Structure 1
Amino acid sequence: MRFLACLLFLLGSSLSSVARPNFVMVFIDDMGWGDFSCFGNKDAKTPNIDRIAAEGIRFEQFHVNSPICSPSRCALTTGQYPQRWRIHSYLNNRADNERRGCAQWLDPKAPTLARMLQQNGYATGHFGKWHLGGQRDVDDAPPITAYGFDESLTNFEGMGPKLLPLTMKPGDSEPGKIWADAERLGKPVTWMQRSKITSGFIDAAIPFIDKAVAGKKPFFVNLWPDDVHGPWWPPTDKWAQGKRGLYLSVLEEMDRQFGHLFDYLRSNPELRDNTLLLICSDNGPEPGAGSAGPFRGSKTTLYEGGTRSPLIVWGPGLIDKAKAGSVNTKSIFAAFDLAPSLLSIAKIEAKDIAFDGEDIAPALLGQKEVSRRAPIFWRRPPDRKTASPALPERLPDLAMRDGRWKLLCEYDGTKPQLYDLDKDRGESTNLAAQQSELVTRMTQALLAWHQSMPPDNGPALGAAQPKKKKK
């Protein structure tokens, strides 16, 4: 009897493990809120992603936690504000990281969603861009597997096995190589056409998933493509003119390549019924390339165009079937809310971890249009007082979203801008003068958050940037 009871216990544990949902996180690089055709793009078609949206839920009020790459990825990975780990801007070479007050890499002691899932029986894989340490001359960063991943395959901005880009444009007889010195950051290295690298990461992720399924393990996969970040290298037969044209060609080619992954998940009942697929962008678009839709601003700015991201969640066997093809216009949340939410869906308790993110799983599953309770706070990248060194407009240093209200201001709380996003999502009418009490309350909360975070070198770098000349 004791043997039978033990056998039944082990069998039950195994079945429980297999029944846990799988997660695939697609994090697209530098894509605007309005770039999927299902989010309003009239200049390009993204039919594979549109089909996923038609079978899932689109979220219109989802944000990322930074308008620039590395801190946005840090928040998604840890469920915490990236400033807690001194990931304040994109990670660059060692000297530039020090100049801006940034860490050289994400501290391996940081909580990560992958590690928590791995410790609870998940197979975990990262395929694509990392950009949380191990780039340029920073060659002593931890490998990606130190953060809770069983396997990894990355590009030139991470430690470990990698895909590196060959480039071809019409008329070239031989491919060029970029980032060739990244070979020293991990082996083995595979060189492939830049226009096909998204499929290279997908072709690595699918066997990883197959192995997890064969081993009766649930899986968590990051699929973070280089696309649609510039410079843009579409296939030579789909070459286009100008920044916008090249960008759109890369966008459509990325969608085509993702079709293979989506068909693979959809065609296997075991995967289709127990996998949650999430697709979004890491920050707003590069000006002149992607589109932020109706929103003001772009990559590096704290306006909505820099931080609002198009989110699609698909899981035919997990989300409310009545919500398939629906649009959630009410739930307000951010990328750092995904870690505690996915753990909740997997029924895993995160012990001794103080997430900044909140559990909004009912929204992801289409059960209820919940929002996070606490406000969302942002601090600009320390080196970006202007959107780029060539642009004159000096941008706000801090921002806060609290329900319908969005506040932006300087580090000391001056020059407040207040917008009612329910009525003015383009942030065109500053209501600060008419809402002085609200501005005071929100400013106090925003400055308290800012002062509670490890500092960066933003004040000094902003003061050093030339100010716009008065006419």
Structure 2
Amino acid sequence: MTISKRIHKLFIVAAVLYLCGCSTIEKDREPNIILIFIDDMGWADLSSFGNTDAKTPNIDKLASEGISFGQFYVNSPICSPSRVAISTGTYPQRWNITSYLSHRADNAKRGMANWLDPAAPMLARSLQKAGYATGHFGKWHMGGQRDVDEAPEITEYGFDASLTNFEGMGAKLLPLTKDETGKVGQIWEKAEILGNPVTWMQRSEITTGFIDAAIQFMRNATKERKPFYVNIWPDDVHSPYWPPFEEYGLAKEAGKRGLYLAVLEAMDQQFGKLFDYIRSSDALRDNTLIVFCSDNGPELGAGRAGALKGYKTHLYEGGIRSSLIVWGPSFIDKKAKGTRNRESVFSAIDMAPSLLAFAGTKASQNSNIDGENVLKTILGESALSRTSPIFYSRPPDRKNYYGFENLPDLAVREGDWKLLCDYDGSRPELYNIVDDPSERHNLAETQSAQAKLMIQKVVSWYAYIEKEKHEISSHRDK
């Protein structure tokens, strides 16, 4: 075939693709990613995870069309460090964020940073550099809260746009409350110091506000033919609980648990709008991955973790195990759709490298990532777990909490085993977490060799993290 004939043939192929709507080009577009991070929702709070006191049909439908994971972990039992972990793919201890960020005096008292270092290897920034439109909608809590009003803007972490609540810098939605008498109040009245513009709206409707903003952002990205990465991080099921006005009185009569369940169901209804929007378009439905989980365990008396021991702030399973759902009809293995993966063990720090691989990119070479690429497991193509242990240190201000006294300082999950101990390795608790997810039978004495091995690992990890943190701090001071 002569060169001229080859060129002519290429023109014909190109014309056919154009007349067919360029379907091949559309198919090769980078996939969209939505990360939904719920605030203080227990492992067993979704009806698809066993809740019989409330119904969450919209989220349950997501699970029925995707994959649920029974042994997924976040990397802290409290909000700020958990958010750092899933955003960076690193242990939050590296950034000196080990509990919730508060007033600067409280942070200093606990030896913590006031905000996440913008140099952290953000998932959003890596995707932004790869051509993604990136937006954050909802709770931030990684800097800019209470009286910390000089923290970096959320957009300095790799986001093109943001809309947050009172725990972040920049444009925000702030909550109004309305009780059964019709009395209207405000929460966090002085949050305007953390950036404008500010919009006040009913707390029970704020998730819709975040979702509406996120949908508009997605529409704009789609018009510009750009893939999008979007965080939707509501704070609905974090106290104080304010369900819709018409439900408030009846829910209040049922106490804290009743208010919580009413808010949970209202949140599910609001998420229905987002899920319907994604499903309504072939282009979005076939090219979007949704990842849904909670940032830590529930408050005592509100959400529940089923048979798992402990609550928010605890290193026991109830504080760190999270109900993960992954949805993406075109990406998830057909045999895995609607199933529950009960065996794969991985954590939130694995999300960043996995989602970067999903998008066909990766973090910068100098990023010190702790997470592992478990993309095949997330998509149902494999049941492999992460290869390295998952390490934890407790929030420094939570040695005694929710009726638990003298809580362990450190924890590590490796294979079927989980160990908890104090900083010096004393008072070990060893559990075969597969056989004993309720952590009732301490095997530290009968399985002393296993306990000794895991004590050495977690104590060494913590010492290394503390040394690294000190060296970084000293270097910055110079």
Query: In the aligned structure 2, how far is the partner of 1:188 from the partner of 1:207?
Result: 17
Query: In the aligned structure 1, how far is the partner of 2:45 from the partner of 2:401?
Result: 20
Matched ranges for 1:168-317 at <5 A: 168-172=178-182, 174-239=183-248, 240=251, 241=253, 242-317=255-330
1:386 offset after TM fit, Å?
A: 1.1
> Match of 1:212, as an amino acid?
A
Is the CA contact (8 Å cut-off) linking 1:17 and 1:217 kept in structure 2?
no
Residues 293-312 of structure 1 show CA distances to partners (whole Å, capped at 9, x for unaligned) of 11000000000000000000
Residues 161-197 of structure 1 show CA distances to partners (whole Å, capped at 9, x for unaligned) of 000000001112x411111101121111100000100
Structure 2's unaligned 5+ residue stretches are 470-478
1:246 offset after TM fit, Å?
A: 0.2
Match of 1:369 among 383, 392, 410: 383
> Match of 1:361, as an amino acid?
L
Matched ranges for 1:65-144 at <5 A: 65-144=75-154
> Match of 1:275, as an amino acid?
T
Match of 1:358 in 2: 372
- Asked if residue 426 in structure 1 is aligned to residue 438 in structure 2, the reply is yes
1:455 offset after TM fit, Å?
A: 7.2
1:377 offset after TM fit, Å?
A: 0.3
Query: In the aligned structure 1, how far is the partner of 2:468 from the partner of 2:238?
Result: 26
Structure 1's unaligned 5+ residue stretches are 458-471
Residues 77-116 of structure 1 show CA distances to partners (whole Å, capped at 9, x for unaligned) of 0000000000110000000000001100000000100000
Question: Which 4+ residue blocks in structure 1 deviate beyond 6 angstroms?
Answer: none
Q: CA RMSD in A?
A: 1.9
Query: In the aligned structure 1, how far is the partner of 2:437 from the partner of 2:298?
Result: 17
Match of 2:409 in 1: 397
Change in CA separation of 1:308 and 1:78 when aligned onto 2, cut-off 3 Å: same
Is the CA contact (8 Å cut-off) linking 1:86 and 1:456 kept in structure 2?
no
Match of 1:50 in 2: 60
Query: In the aligned structure 2, how far is the partner of 1:456 from the partner of 1:295?
Result: 33
- Asked if residue 408 in structure 1 is aligned to residue 417 in structure 2, the reply is no
Residues 207-233 of structure 1 show CA distances to partners (whole Å, capped at 9, x for unaligned) of 000001100100000000011100000
**Percent identical:** 60
Match of 1:326 in 2: 339
Is the CA contact (8 Å cut-off) linking 2:78 and 2:296 kept in structure 1?
yes
Query: In the aligned structure 2, how far is the partner of 1:208 from the partner of 1:454?
Result: 40
1:349 offset after TM fit, Å?
A: 2.7
Change in CA separation of 1:456 and 1:70 when aligned onto 2, cut-off 3 Å: farther
> Match of 2:295, as an amino acid?
D
Query: In the aligned structure 2, how far is the partner of 1:342 from the partner of 1:89?
Result: 26
Residues 362-401 of structure 1 show CA distances to partners (whole Å, capped at 9, x for unaligned) of 011111111100000000000000125xx35110000000
SS at match of 2:230: strand
Match of 2:354 among 338, 341, 345: 341
Match of 1:154 in 2: 164
1:236 offset after TM fit, Å?
A: 1.7
Query: In the aligned structure 2, how far is the partner of 1:144 from the partner of 1:89?
Result: 19
> Match of 1:59, as an amino acid?
F
Residues 242-292 of structure 1 show CA distances to partners (whole Å, capped at 9, x for unaligned) of 000000000000000000000001111101001000110000000110001
> Match of 1:413, as an amino acid?
G
Residues 5-59 of structure 1 show CA distances to partners (whole Å, capped at 9, x for unaligned) of 9xx9xx99x9489611110000000000000000000000000000000000000
Greater shift in the superposed pair: 72-81 or 392-401: 392-401
> Match of 1:433, as an amino acid?
E
> Match of 1:184, as an amino acid?
I
Normalised to the residue count of structure 1, the TM-score between the two structures is 0.92
Query: In the aligned structure 1, how far is the partner of 2:69 from the partner of 2:31?
Result: 21
Query: In the aligned structure 2, how far is the partner of 1:385 from the partner of 1:455?
Result: 22
Change in CA separation of 1:393 and 1:147 when aligned onto 2, cut-off 3 Å: same
Is the CA contact (8 Å cut-off) linking 2:121 and 2:363 kept in structure 1?
no
Query: In the aligned structure 1, how far is the partner of 2:116 from the partner of 2:27?
Result: 30
Is the CA contact (8 Å cut-off) linking 1:66 and 1:380 kept in structure 2?
yes
> Match of 1:58, as an amino acid?
S
Is the CA contact (8 Å cut-off) linking 1:418 and 1:439 kept in structure 2?
yes
SS at match of 1:454: helix
Match of 2:473 in 1: none
Normalised to the residue count of structure 2, the TM-score between the two structures is 0.91
Point out the structure with max Rg over C-alpha.
2
1:454 offset after TM fit, Å?
A: 2.8
Is the CA contact (8 Å cut-off) linking 2:126 and 2:362 kept in structure 1?
no
- Asked if residue 33 in structure 1 is aligned to residue 46 in structure 2, the reply is no
SS at match of 2:240: coil
Is the CA contact (8 Å cut-off) linking 2:44 and 2:305 kept in structure 1?
yes
> Match of 1:439, as an amino acid?
A
Query: In the aligned structure 1, how far is the partner of 2:303 from the partner of 2:368?
Result: 35
Is the CA contact (8 Å cut-off) linking 1:32 and 1:292 kept in structure 2?
yes
Query: In the aligned structure 2, how far is the partner of 1:145 from the partner of 1:18?
Result: 28
Query: In the aligned structure 2, how far is the partner of 1:187 from the partner of 1:18?
Result: 39
Residues 293-347 of structure 1 show CA distances to partners (whole Å, capped at 9, x for unaligned) of 1100000000000000000000001111221101111110000100000011111
Match of 1:469 in 2: none
Match of 1:448 among 460, 465, 468: 460
